[in-house]
Amino acid sequence: MSDALVVFTPSGKRGRFPLGTPVLTAARQLGVDLDSVCGGRGICSKCQITPGYGNYPKHGLTVAPDALSEWNAVEQRYKDKRGLIDGRRLGCQAQIQGDVLIDVPPESQLHRQVVRKAASARAIAMDPATRLYFVEVAQPDMHEPSGDLERLGNALRHQWNIEGITASPGILRKLQSVLRQGNWSVTVAIFADHRPGPARILEIWPGFHEGPLLGLAIDLGSTTIAAHLTDLSNGAVIASGGVMNPQIRFGEDLMSRVSYAMMNPGGDAEMTAAVRLAVNALAQSVTAEAGADPAAIMEAVLVCNPVMHHLFLGIDPVELGQAPFALATSDSLAMPARELELTALNPEAQLYILPCIAGHVGADAAAVALSEAPEQSDDLVLIVDVGTNAELLLGNRQRVLACSSPTGPAFEGAQISSGQRAAPGAIERIAIDPRTKEPRFKVIGSDLWSDEPGFGEATARTGVTGICGSGIIEAVAEMRLAGIVDTAGLIGSPAQTGTERCIADGRTHAYLIHDATDTGGPRISVTQGDIRAIQLAKAALYAGARLLMDEMGVERVERVVLAGAFGAHISARHAMILGMIPDCPLDKVTSAGNAAGTGARLALCNAGARAAIEAQVKRIHKVETAIEPRFQEHFVNASAIPHAIDRFPELARVVTLPVVSHNTGADGGGRRRGRTRG
C-alpha distances (whole Å) from 519 to each of 439, 450, 497, 522 are 20, 17, 28, 9
Torsion angle of the four alpha carbons 138, 143, 144, 148, in this order, in degrees rounded to the nearest 10: 50
Say if residue 420 is exposed, middle or buried (CB neighbours under 10 Å; 0-12, 13-18, 19+).
buried
Exactly one of 277, 323, 615, 636 binds its own copies (CB under 8 A); that residue is: 323
User: Of the listed pieces 11-19, 308-316, 433-441, 475-483, which binds its own copies according to CB under 8 A?
Assistant: 308-316
Judge contact between 449 and 514, C-beta under 8 A.
no
Q: Which of 136, 316, 486, 505 binds its own copies (CB under 8 A)?
A: 316
Distance of closest approach, residue 598 Cβ to its own copies, in angstroms: 25
Q: How far apart are CA 52 and CA 58, in angstroms?
A: 13
State which residue, 29 or 139, has the beta carbon closest to its own copies.
Answer: 139
Report the nearest approach of its own copies to the CB of residue 244 (Å).
25
How near is the Cβ of 151 to its own copies at its closest, in Å? Answer: 9
Smallest gap from Cβ 611 to its own copies, in A, equals: 14
- The pairing of strands 199-206 and 165-166 is parallel
Binding segment for its own copies among 134-142, 184-192, 434-442, 593-601 (CB under 8 A)?
Answer: 134-142
**310 vs 442 by CB, closer to its own copies:** 310
Instruction: Rule CB under 8 A: say whether 177 interacts with its own copies.
Output: yes
Taking CB under 8 A as the criterion, the residue among 16, 77, 173, 630 binding its own copies is 173
Q: Which of 315, 612, 640, 655 binds its own copies (CB under 8 A)?
A: 315
> In terms of DSSP bridges, do strands 559-563 and 589-593 run parallel, antiparallel, or are they unpaired?
parallel
CB neighbours of residue 219 within 10 Å: 28
Q: Check: CB of residue 502 under 8 Å from CB of residue 492.
A: yes
Of the chain, the end-to-end C-alpha distance in Å amounts to 79
The rounded distance, in Å, linking the Cα atoms of 469 and 575 is 12
Position 169 contacts its own copies (CB under 8 A): yes
> Coil, strand, or helix at residue 277?
helix
486 binds its own copies (CB under 8 A): no
Q: Does 236 bind its own copies (CB under 8 A)?
A: no
Select the residue interacting with its own copies from 57, 65, 197, 291 (CB under 8 A): 197
CA count, 13 A, side-chain hemisphere, 78: 22
The nearest distance, CB 610 to its own copies, in angstroms, is 15
Using CB under 8 A as the binding rule, whether residue 140 contacts its own copies is answered as yes
Q: How far is CA 671 from the centre of its chain?
A: 33
Under a CB-based contact definition with an 8 Å cutoff, are residues 560 and 416 in contact?
Answer: no
Residue 145 binding its own copies, by CB under 8 A: yes
Residue 184 Cβ, how far from its own copies at the closest point, in Å? 11
Distance between CA atoms of 23 and 108, rounded to whole angstroms?
13
Residue 422 and residue 428 in contact, taking contact as beta carbons nearer than 8 Å: yes
- Alpha-carbon gap, residue 97 to 100, rounded angstroms: 8
What is the spatial distance between Cα 445 and Cα 468, in angstroms, rounded to a whole number? 13
Choose the stretch contacting its own copies; rule: CB under 8 A; options: 22-30, 164-172, 496-504, 566-574.
164-172
State in angstroms the smallest separation of the CB of 147 from its own copies: 3
Q: Which is nearer to its own copies, 12 or 197 (CB)?
A: 197
Taking the least distance from each CB to its own copies, the nearer of 244 and 323 is 323
**Contact (CB, 8 A) for 550 and 211:** no
Among 108, 224, 330, 525, binds its own copies (CB under 8 A): 330
Report in angstroms how near the CB of residue 148 gets to its own copies at its nearest. 5
Alpha carbon 275 to chain centroid, angstroms: 19
The yes or no reply on residue 547 touching its own copies (CB under 8 A) is no
Q: Of 111-119, 170-178, 232-240, 466-474, which part binds its own copies (CB under 8 A)?
A: 170-178
Of 319 and 505, CB closest to its own copies: 319
Whichever of 65 and 196 has its CB closer to its own copies, that residue is: 196
Out of 154, 168, 508, 661, the residue judged to bind its own copies by CB under 8 A: 168
Residues in contact with its own copies, counted by CB under 8 A, come to a total of 47
**Which residue's CB is nearer to its own copies, number 312 or number 542?**
312
Compute the chain's Rg from CA coordinates.
29
CA dihedral 89, 90, 94, 99 (to 10 degrees): 60
Q: In this chain, which of 356, 534, 536, 654 binds its own copies, going by CB under 8 A?
A: 356
Kindly tell me which of 175 and 654 has the beta carbon lying closer to its own copies.
175
Question: Binding to its own copies by residue 359, rule CB under 8 A?
Answer: yes
Q: How far is the CB of 262 from its own copies (least distance, A)?
A: 13
Residue type, 649: P
CB of 144 to its own copies, least distance (A): 8
322 binds its own copies (CB under 8 A): no
Q: Does 507 bind its own copies (CB under 8 A)?
A: no
Angle among Cα 11, 15, 21 to the nearest 5 degrees reads 105
CB 166, min distance to its own copies, A: 9
- Which stretch of DSSP H or E encloses residue 514? strand 508-515
Burial of 208 (0-12, 13-18, 19+ CB in 10 A): middle
Q: Which of residues 420-479 bind its own copies (CB under 8 A)?
A: none
Measured from the CB of residue 359, what is the shortest distance to its own copies in angstroms? Answer: 6
Apex CA 115: angle with CA 110 and CA 118, to 5°? Answer: 155
Q: Are the C-beta atoms of residues 254 and 268 closer than 8 Å to each other?
A: no
H/E element, 14: strand 14-18
The binder of its own copies chosen from 236, 335, 615, 636 (CB under 8 A): 335
Verify binding: residue 22, its own copies, rule CB under 8 A.
no
> Which residues 578-637 are close enough to bind its own copies by CB under 8 A?
622, 624, 626-627
Q: Which stretch binds its own copies (CB under 8 A): 104-112, 324-332, 379-387, 539-547?
A: 324-332
Strand order in the sheet with 502-505: 502-505, 508-515, 523-527
CA proximity to 361, closest of 405, 317, 328, 398: 405
Measure the CA–CA gap between 673 and 678, rounded to whole angstroms.
8
Is residue 329 involved in binding its own copies (CB under 8 A)?
Answer: yes
Closer residue to its own copies, CB minimum distance, 74 or 269: 269
d(CA 330, CA 49): 45
User: Cβ atoms within 10 A of the Cβ of 265, count?
Assistant: 9
Give least dist CB 506 to its own copies, A: 41
Helix and strand counts by DSSP (H, E) for the chain: 19, 31
Q: Does 201 bind its own copies (CB under 8 A)?
A: no
Under rule CB under 8 A, residue 150 binds its own copies: yes
Hey, which bits of 408-451 come out as E strands?
Answer: 426-432, 439-443
* Closer by beta carbon to its own copies, 328 or else 490: 328
Binding site for its own copies (CB under 8 A): 139-150, 167-169, 172-173, 175-177, 196-197, 313-316, 319, 323-331, 335, 339-340, 356-359, 622, 624, 626-627
